[in-house]
Structure formats: C-alpha cells, structure tokens
Copies of this chain bind each other. A is one copy, B any other.
Amino acid sequence: MVVLQLSGTAPVNLQAKFSILELAHGSRKHLTTLSSFSLPSLFISNSQQPRHPISSFPPVNQSVAAIVFGDGSESRLYPLTKRRSEGAIPIGAKYRIVDAVISNCINSNINKIYALTQYNSTSLNSHLSRAYTGLGLGKDGFVEVIAAYQSLEDQGWFQGTADAIRRCLWVLEEYQVSEFLVLPGHHLYRMDYQKLVDAHRRSQADITIAALTSTRDQDPGFGTLKVNSLNEVAEFHVKSEREPMIDPSVQSAQASNDNSYRKLSSMGIYLVNRDVMTKLLNEYFPQANEFGTEVIPGAISTGMKVQAYAFDGYWEDMRSIAAFYQANMDCIKGLNMGYNFYDKDAPLYTTPRYLPPTTITGAVITDSVVGDGCILNRCKIKGTVVGMRTTIGEKAIIEDSVIMGSDIYQKDYIQKSGKEGMAIPIGIGEDTHIKKAIIDKNARIGRNVMIINKDNVQESNREANGYIISGGIVVVLESAVIPDGSIL
C-alpha cells in the first residue's frame, strides 16, 4: 500500500532514486556540469535573475494554493488509523488533527486548499467537507479533496506524494497562483504561512523549506538541512524510515567542513514556485514518486535556489502512540506550553456542531480539557482530555488519559436490549478507573473496569479483546466493548 505521506523512502521507484542519489552525492561543481547539458539554461538563469519586487505580488489568498497530504503513515499510529487516515484522528476534545493545518491556512489567508488523499480517505473527506464548506472561505476559497482516481492514462493508485501532485497538476493549475505550499496534514503546530511566503519572495527562492531550529527526530524522510547565514540550503540529509542514513545525501564540498553552517530539521513544508513545480515533476524527475526524499534533493542537486525558513514554535509530528499521547497531555497545559487551542486571532476551525452544553452533576476536575455535550456524573477527572459527548458514570476516576468521546448519545440502551445489564452503553461506566489510556470514539467501557495497565506491559496486541498496548499506553479501539469488571 502506498501512503500519501510527505516522507517515507519505502515506495520509491528505484531507477528514479538512483539517478537522484547520483545527483545528490555530486558536488555543486558537478551539478553545474550536469545541468549544463541536462537542464535548460534558461531555468538556471531564471532563478538568479531579479524578479518582480515583492510588493507587486497579489495577496496570498489570490496567489498561493495549499496542497495538504492527509494520510500520514498508516502503521505508526495504529490502531487509531484502523478506519481513518492520520489527519482524521480526533484530538483536543473536539478537533481532528488535520484541523490544525487547515486552520493555519485559513488564518494565513490561504483559502485555496487541495487535500490529496487515498488511504482510508473516507473519514478525512467526510470531515473536511462537513467542516469547511459551511465556513466562509472568501471569494474563490475552497477546501477541495482530491482522492486518488483512475483514468484512462493511469489506472494505479498514487505512488507517493510526488506522483500524486504530478497526476493532479491539471487540477491544481486551475487558478493562476504563483506558488504551491506543500503541507503534511498530520502535524500539530501553529504557523503564519504568510511570513513564510514573504521570506520566500524576498529571497527570490525557487523553493523554501520550513525547518525546525532544533535538530530532532522528526518524520522520517523529511531530512536535515545545513544552511548558511543567508538561510540558503547547502546540504540535505535524508534519513530513511528503515535504516538510519549515514552519509549525507546532498552535500556541497564547501558545506561539509564549514562552521558557518547550521543544521535545521525539515518540517516537510515546501513552498514551491508554480513553474518550478511543473519543471521538477514533469521535466527533471518525471519518475520520482516522493516529494521529500526525491524531488527536493533533486532540486537542490540541480542548483536551484532552495531557502530554509526557520521555525522555533511548538511542533509535533506524532510519530508514535506515545508521541500522540504526549501531544494531548501537552495540550492540557493549555496556555503555556503545548499546542494552544485558545488563540483568539487564529482560531482553530472544525465541524460546527449543535451540541448542548456539558452537564456536570458533581465532578472534581483537575488540569483537564472538556468538550461540548458531555454528561459527567459524580466522578473524578484529572489530567485528561474529555472528548465531546463523553458520558462518565458515578464514582468513575479518569487520570492522565485521552477520552475521544462519541458520535452519538446512547441513553436508552437497556430498553433496546431488553435485558437489564446486558448491553454496555457508549461511555464510561460506574466505578471504572482509567489511567494513562487512550479511549477511541464510541467505545463502551463497562462498570468496575480497571484500565490501568497493572502489569506495566509496554507492547501488546489484544485487538480481539478491544485494545492494544503501545509504549505502555492502553489504547481501547473505536467502538470496542470492554465488559463490566474487566481489568486491562
């Protein structure tokens, strides 16, 4: 299966990759030589000529289109991705992960947004169309989902992010934008992309890569940049998902021994000039499947002007269940650290819902975030994200957990089942104790249940029983049923 993640070296066309790596290992001098016969000279000169002054650019809402990849990786956040793509995972009591990136776009006045998707795309499509079509995106604004499709010319799935963009270029070129902003849809951060666009235009770059100032383990395949004092990218390491990369994949002779260079971690965010995008995908690297690991290194190797845009705010790519859990815990701390849901000037958008306010009959709540429409009976909640419509029974204790909530209320389950006590309703039963767990949507946790990972298991797959344990965190599956008295 090919996942539209802006990363991953796995599904690469080998031939294409080889030639790119060949380019990548070459020195800049080599590249110049190469480009002198293989690339139109027009292009090289183009990128060095002064362009129109920045003031002549139209506003970003008319000149930039965003390309969001909603898929992420299918496997690392399993089982949260069993029925959904990574971008569609619920977070922060009422949002989906992809809302962070889409809201960044809207708050940056970028209102032409294409979401490319193929893995478990239904959940994402449904969310995006419900959340963002009612919202005023302004003149010519839209969030348009482009699902993988068959055509007469090409009957296969998207083979990677570069392949996906290439096959959709005829759609993406509908509006006369000047740049494309390529965005992974499963990361959690706030960024004003307008500043990125401004920096890109001022530097007259062909491509600008947003990058973290701190080197760290980020999404595999996004690479590590070495940049000079002008933020020009001189080197680009790519670490494979499977094996750590030892040799720098792209390195100029000058850069390798020079202390004036600093290292940044790519965020997988690329601002690419429209004509450069077309040339890269159709002329220079028509076989490349992946954008981050093939096209971007290739572009650097051809001598294009590639800039870095440094970012030092909160950013989380949730590479594992543990990282996803931690991101939620950070959110709770709210105003000070972690991802902040409360920015008045840059609100986080999502599906508008008509939920009643939360009713609390007698809860003691500490350091928690509570969504709409919950029914909290006499319970104790500490350090927990309580998702919308969560029902919590009497004397339940929830600690350090992520409760995703539910899509429906279920009050009359006993009447329906006909037998009292037989059916377990959606929500968390009386006297149940949950600690350090993730409870996915619509789960039915019975009474007197203990979800506390008492044996401190680190990894375990009990999918048949409705849960798995990953990194010491119990994850109860969507719609799973945990019978009364269970101890997990």
Contact = CB atoms under 8 A, between A and B. Distances in A.
A342 B375 CA distance: 10
A168 interface: yes
A370 interface: yes
A418 interface: no
A60 to B, nearest CB: 10
A364 to B, nearest CB: 5
A411 B345 CA distance: 12
Contacts of A415: none
Contacts of A94: 357
Contacts of A334: 359
B370 A168 contact: no
A156 to B, nearest CB: 9
A68 to B, nearest CB: 15
A316 B411 CA distance: 26
Given A129-B133, A138-B141, A150 B106 contact: no
A171 B92 CA distance: 24
Interface in A343-357: 344, 347-350, 352-354, 356-357
Contacts of A244: none
Q: Which 10 pairs across A and B sit closest by C-beta, in order of nearness?
A: A138-B138, A147-B147, A352-B352, A341-B356, A93-B357, A133-B133, A121-B149, A360-B365, A1-B155, A357-B371
16 contacts: A59-B109, A122-B147, A125-B144, A125-B146, A125-B147, A145-B145, A147-B149, A342-B356, A342-B359, A342-B375, A344-B408, A350-B354, A357-B372, A360-B367, A360-B370, A363-B364
Interface of A: 1-2, 59, 61, 74, 78, 82-83, 92-94, 106-107, 109, 111, 117-122, 125-126, 129-130, 133-139, 141-142, 144-152, 155, 157, 168, 170-171, 332, 334-335, 341-342, 344, 347-350, 352-354, 356-373, 375-376, 385-386, 388, 408-409, 411
